[in-house]
């Protein structure tokens, strides 16, 4: 899991490049400041909890890598995120671009949760329902179309440690009242 943190830091840094390119150069007397990268809050069996700053706001998230993928792919991640404007955003990063308007489901025990897609990610239509199902189980299986709409992709995720990771991000980024 700790190998993913530098990858996430690189992704966040690359995302900031367009806005940095539009800024004026810093005065010589004022050295440029760097944004802090993700900070790990803890590892809970198969899940990692972390936080980072985005536009001055604290974002908390928990994630796990797929324990099995068919066809085999490297970076398939299930993430739950708390932002100031919303909680329990559940996303799957597939490692390829989903076909437009693709349907993805996440099966947890007897529940099939619908996800919508955008680019290389699929997002739970009801994050609270997904989190509730994830807290009560030890495994989740995602099914969706493969790259270019060819075949079916199946990704399995361990939910062992999810409840503790979710509790941690919920304490670190409490709900606004």
Eight-state DSSP code of residue 174 = P
Least confident of 24-28, 75-79, 90-94: 24-28
Q: What is the mean pLDDT of residues 67-82?
A: 95
- Residue 36's pLDDT band, with cuts at 50, 70 and 90, is low
pTM for the model stands at 0.79
Residue ranges of alpha helices (H) inside the chain are 4-21, 127-135, 162-172
- Angle of the 127-135 helix axis to the 162-172 helix axis, nearest 10: 130
Which tokens is 68 given?
A: 């099995």
Residues in a beta bridge with 59: 52
Which tokens is 137 given?
A: 């189980």
Which domains, from first to last, does the chain contain?
Answer: 39-172 (2.60.40.1880)
Least confident of 16-25, 98-107, 118-127, 150-159: 16-25
Q: Is the Cβ–Cβ distance between 81 and 165 less than 8 Å?
A: no
Mean pLDDT of the chain, nearest integer:
84
The answer on pLDDT for 33 being more than 90 is no
- Sign, CA dihedral 79-97-95-111, equals positive
pLDDT computed for residue 3 by the predictor: 41
């Amino acid at each position: 899991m700790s190998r993913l943190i530098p990858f996430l830091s690189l992704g966040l840094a690359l995302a900031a490049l367009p806005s940095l390119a539009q800024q004026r150069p810093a005065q010589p007397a004022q050295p440029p400041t760097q944004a802090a990268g993700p900070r790990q809050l803890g590892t809970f069996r198969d899940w990692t909890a972390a936080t980072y700053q985005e536009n001055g706001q604290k974002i908390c998230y928990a994630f796990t890598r797929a324990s099995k993928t068919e066809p085999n792919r490297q970076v398939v991640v299930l993430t739950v995120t708390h932002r100031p404007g919303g909680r329990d955003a559940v996303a799957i990063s597939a490692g390829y671009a989903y076909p437009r308007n693709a349907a993805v489901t996440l099966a947890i025990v007897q529940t099939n949760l619908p996800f919508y897609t955008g680019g290389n990610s699929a997002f739970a239509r009801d994050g609270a329902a997904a989190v509730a199902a994830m807290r009560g189980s030890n495994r989740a299986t995602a099914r969706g179309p493969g790259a270019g709409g060819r075949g079916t992709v199946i990704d399995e995720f361990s939910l062992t440690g999810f409840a503790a990771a979710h509790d941690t991000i919920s304490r670190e980024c409490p709900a606004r009242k």
